[in-house]
């Protein structure tokens, strides 16, 4: 029985309006009515992605596109920047696609150091770098602009940047920074239900893809491009979430993108202040702390599982008790989506109310 509000780092709380938009009528995906919906989203998406390249709609989770990017873009060797659960997994996924791949690995909570990346790329071994901008498992945001500066010195190396939990939270100027593939999902800061991934591909990445064998069909970037030119998707798309996307994009531009970024920064600061006030610490260095969620180090050794359970059952608020190997050693609070200072302060007050029981 879902009688609680989601403050986990995705899926996050979905607004009534967004839910209602899912019930708009479906249509044939080769019909002019679908093309109209696609085109209306496209204009707004290119603006939000800060790109002149097409923005594609993939009926999948982000992992589908993350795998697809590796299949489309590498034939030499992939360098996977690893700093948490999701970025770590990308190495395994690359190998499972039959691609040679190496790790540039740091401890969970640490960031990818642009200088170390530089040394790795200087070997000339790689043709693709994978990076998770905002490691959701650790609440850590990599220094993307500095990383892209390094990559700009290696024109033969393409970049795939997962912005699943940072997209629309902070400014990520795709074209200006020279990102080749940027991808995100519907259920994080866009605050839609899961089931739709969004991604944008650079011209030179299309050129590379054309030369790569074994791309398949479902995630083939060239198929996406060919269909995009007709205002369509290669395969039958998840129309309810595309209706939802259109609704959400209109809301984002009503609020204003700049204002949205500021709001997320402010709400994130409220959570950080609570963390300090209680004597907790952040898992990552403050400088690299995510703006979309907070990963709290359990330095006070509270009963995280009990705290999370009681908050959900008594207060009807759901935060996360830590991911994978740092479960219980951390807990995570999302400020993504439609949150306000009222809703975040309410959450923090309710947490305050029960915290003493678990210390």
Residues in contact with its own copies by CB under 8 A are: 1-2, 6, 8, 10-11, 14, 19-20, 22-29, 33, 59-64, 67-68, 71, 92-93, 96-98, 185, 187, 193-196, 213-220, 234-241, 318, 320
Residue closer to its own copies (CB basis): 62 or 106:
62
Residue closer to its own copies (CB basis): 115 or 217:
217
Question: Which residues, other chains included, contact 232 with Cβ-Cβ below 8 Å and sequence gap of 6+?
Answer: 29, 30, 34, 35, 38
Residue closer to its own copies (CB basis): 172 or 196:
196
Q: What span, in angstroms and rounded, lies between the C-alpha atoms of 216 and 219?
A: 7
In the structure encoding, which two tokens stand for residue 226, read together?
């060919």
Residue closer to its own copies (CB basis): 116 or 220:
220
| Least distance between its own copies and beta carbon 258 (Å) | 28
| Least distance between its own copies and beta carbon 194 (Å) | 4
| Least distance between its own copies and beta carbon 337 (Å) | 12
Residue closer to its own copies (CB basis): 88 or 320:
320
| Least distance between its own copies and beta carbon 260 (Å) | 21
| Least distance between its own copies and beta carbon 199 (Å) | 14
| Least distance between its own copies and beta carbon 321 (Å) | 11
Residue closer to its own copies (CB basis): 98 or 256:
98
Nearest to 49 by CA among 151, 192, 166, 222: 166
First vs last C-alpha separation in the chain: 28
Q: Which helix (H) or strand (E) holds 162?
A: strand 158-162
Cβ burial 68-106 (10 Å sphere, 16+ → b, else e):
bbbbbbbeebbbbbbbbbbbbbbbebbeebebebbebbb
| Least distance between its own copies and beta carbon 82 (Å) | 16
Q: Is the peptide bond before 11 cis (omega within 30 degrees of 0)?
A: yes
| Least distance between its own copies and beta carbon 313 (Å) | 12
In the structure encoding, which two tokens stand for residue 300, read together?
């006070």
Residue closer to its own copies (CB basis): 114 or 195:
195
Residue closer to its own copies (CB basis): 141 or 196:
196
Question: Which residues, other chains included, contact 198 with Cβ-Cβ below 8 Å and sequence gap of 6+?
Answer: 45, 49, 55, 56, 57, 58, 167, 183, 184, 185, 186, 245
Do 354 and 315 touch, CB atoms closer than 8 A? yes
Number of H helices, E strands in the chain: 13, 14
Give the pairing of strands 128-132 and 158-162: parallel
| Least distance between its own copies and beta carbon 230 (Å) | 14
Question: Which residues, other chains included, contact 344 with Cβ-Cβ below 8 Å and sequence gap of 6+?
Answer: 267, 270, 271, 335
Residue closer to its own copies (CB basis): 64 or 143:
64
Neighbours of 46 (CB within 10 A): 17
């Amino acid at each position: 029985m879902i009688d609680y509000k989601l403050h986990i780092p995705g899926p996050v709380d979905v607004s009534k309006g967004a839910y209602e938009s899912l019930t708009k009528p479906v249509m044939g995906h080769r019909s002019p009515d679908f093309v109209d919906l696609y085109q209306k989203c496209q204009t707004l998406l290119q603006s939000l992605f800060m790109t002149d390249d097409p923005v594609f709609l993939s009926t999948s989770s982000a992992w589908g596109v993350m795998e697809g990017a590796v299949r489309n873009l590498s034939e030499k060797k992939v360098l996977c920047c690893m700093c948490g659960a999701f970025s770590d997994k990308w190495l395994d996924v690359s190998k499972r696609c039959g691609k040679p791949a190496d790790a540039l690995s740091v401890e969970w909570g640490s960031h990818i150091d642009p200088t170390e990346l530089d040394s790795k790329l200087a070997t000339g071994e790689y043709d693709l770098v994978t990076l998770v901008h905002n490691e959701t498992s650790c609440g850590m945001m990599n220094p993307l602009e500095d990383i892209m500066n390094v990559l700009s010195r290696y024109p033969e190396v393409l970049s795939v940047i997962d912005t699943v939990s940072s997209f629309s939270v902070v400014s990520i100027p795709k074209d200006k920074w020279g990102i080749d593939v940027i991808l995100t999902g519907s259920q994080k800061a866009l605050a839609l239900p899961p089931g739709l991934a969004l991604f944008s591909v650079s011209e030179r990445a299309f050129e590379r893809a054309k030369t790569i064998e074994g791309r398949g069909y479902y995630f083939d970037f060239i198929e996406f491009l060919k269909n995009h030119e007709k205002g369509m998707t290669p395969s039958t798309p998840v129309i309810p979430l595309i209706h939802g996307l259109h609704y959400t994009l209109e809301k984002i531009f009503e609020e204003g993108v700049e204002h949205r970024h500021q709001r997320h920064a402010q709400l994130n600061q409220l959570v950080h202040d609570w963390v300090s006030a209680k004597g907790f610490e952040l898992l990552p260095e403050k400088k690299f702390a995510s703006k979309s969620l907070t990963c709290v180090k359990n330095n006070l050794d509270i009963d995280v599982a009990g705290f999370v359970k009681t908050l959900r059952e008594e207060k009807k608020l759901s935060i996360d008790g830590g991911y994978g190997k740092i479960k219980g050693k951390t807990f995570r609070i999302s400020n993504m989506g439609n949150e306000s200072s009222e809703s975040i302060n309410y959450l923090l007050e309710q947490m305050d109310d029960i915290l003493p029981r678990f210390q």
